[in-house]
A and B are shown apart, each in its own frame.
Chain A
Amino acid sequence: MVIIYFNNEQKEDLQFLQELSFEVGSKIVQVSIDFFKGNYNPKLLQNVSTKINLPQLKVERCVYALSYLFTESSKLSLSKSDFLESVDAISPTKEIEECLLESYQKNREEMRRILSEMSLKLPSIDSLQWRLDVQISSRRTSNEAKPVYLLKLKTSDNRTVWFQADYNELESMTNQLEIALKESKSQHYKRIKKYIK
């Protein structure tokens, strides 16, 4: 069972959630979700703060704290009960609690996707294009018929690499990669997967 802990500052920031109406509360929750996704809407925040008669800074800090809640819960993939327990620490009203849970469940997959984009990774392969040519003659040799593969590899960091390969090289590359692929279906891999879970 995993629970998220708020530090004292964050608990303070989220205090006033207890006194809010559902309408205003849900708006703040929505702003926090958008903030996480990168769409920060200051105007909406301004409207909310004037409505409940609180300084904008206070509402902003609340949004940051809620974003922290959503980030950590998505990162750890909290179950419904764990999420509710974590939220309990700031004891919001029943309606706001439900609103938080609903937003979490609805947006969890997308938030996890955004987090994994931000994670450490090597550039991945975009596409590989190939062309088969026959080399007929060159300066040093003539009247030959040597098959040559032209390959273009594109990676996710927008790099394009051109290279050529013989038939033999290409065949050995294909064989190696096939072996690599078979590994994902091997017993060893299945065992590890089971143990780690």
Chain B
Amino acid sequence: MELSKTNLNSLSLLKKIPKSVHQELLSLVFGVLLQQVDETEIEKSQTLKQIDSTLLKEVYSGLITIIIQAIKANLNEKSLAHFLKDTNSPTEFVGLLSTAYGKTFQKIRETHLETTGFYLKRLISINWRMDYIIKSNKIEQIDKPVYFIDLNLQKKDGQIEKLKFSCDTNQLQDLVTTLKDAVLAKKTQK
């Protein structure tokens, strides 16, 4: 995991912050990462007001970067603690950070993957049915065929979502033409 010097430095700056404030700082950092807390809360916090604002900003940004990079690199609790031991950070804080990291790792990964990751639902299968409409309570003598199409899409976590829609013969014809073009595009590319 690569971190800039300033980020690594920020952890050593923690020594300048009184221990009593560490827990509050950590909860705010993880709150922001889980998108439960807005960043403005940091300014509003009474306990954090006693800390010099530049110092606070450096430590805060350093912490956020380290945690996100660790999630990206898929580090578990122990590897993170191991990595942090090499930096010049207070041991008690490393313990607190790793524990909180271990607890929220999966959730942060999910919330961030959802917003910045790229996984679309995948088409698995298709079902269709053709009906002939005779009449309805509003209008009689309709006498038209209708198609019901059912697409099965699979989401990242394996859940299947069904997409249902109807179309008449013309719309189905258009759909088939569009799909045929798409299939042909790949054939010609090869």
Contacts and interface: CB of A to CB of B under 8 A. Distances in A.
Interface of A: 74-77, 112, 115-116, 118-125, 128, 130, 132, 147, 149-151, 153, 155, 161-167, 169-174, 176-178, 180-181, 183-184, 189, 192-193, 196-197
Interface residues of B, number: 45
Given A77-B141, A192-B132, A197-B143, A174 B179 contact: yes
B75 to A, nearest CB: 15
Given A128-B178, A180-B130, A163 B153 contact: yes
Contacts of B172: 177, 180-181
Interface string B46-84: 000000000000000000000000000000000000000
Nearest to A115: B139
B139 to A, nearest CB: 4
Interface in B141-188: 141-143, 145, 147-149, 151, 153, 163-169, 171-173, 175-176, 178-180, 182-183, 185-186
A180 B139 contact: no
A189 B147 CA distance: 13
A177 B179 contact: yes
A163 B171 contact: no
B166 A121 contact: yes
Contacts of A173: 123, 126, 151, 179
Interface of B: 120-126, 128, 130, 132, 134, 136-143, 145, 147-149, 151, 153, 163-169, 171-173, 175-176, 178-180, 182-183, 185-186, 189
Determine chain B's interface SS by DSSP, over half rule: mixed
A161 B175 CA distance: 15
B77 to A, nearest CB: 21
B183 A170 contact: yes
B186 A112 contact: no
Contact of A196 (B120, B143, B147, B175): B143
Contacts of B134: 196
Given A147-B186, A177-B172, A164 B123 contact: yes
A7 to B, nearest CB: 19
A171 B183 contact: yes
21 contacts: A76-B140, A118-B138, A119-B138, A123-B165, A128-B178, A128-B179, A130-B179, A147-B186, A147-B189, A151-B123, A153-B151, A162-B121, A166-B122, A167-B183, A169-B122, A170-B182, A173-B126, A177-B128, A177-B172, A184-B145, A189-B145
A41 B120 CA distance: 51
A75 B135 CA distance: 9
A10 B189 CA distance: 69
Contacts of B132: 189, 192-193, 196
A173 B140 CA distance: 34
A75 B138 contact: yes
Among A123, A151, A166, A172, max chain B CB count under 10 A is at A151
Contacts of A164: 120-123
Among B125, B139, B140, B175, max chain A CB count under 10 A is at B139
Contacts of A193: 132, 143
B133 to A, nearest CB: 9
A124 B171 contact: yes
B128 A125 contact: no
Given A76-B141, A116-B139, A169 B123 contact: yes
A193 B163 CA distance: 29
A107 to B, nearest CB: 14
B165 A125 contact: yes
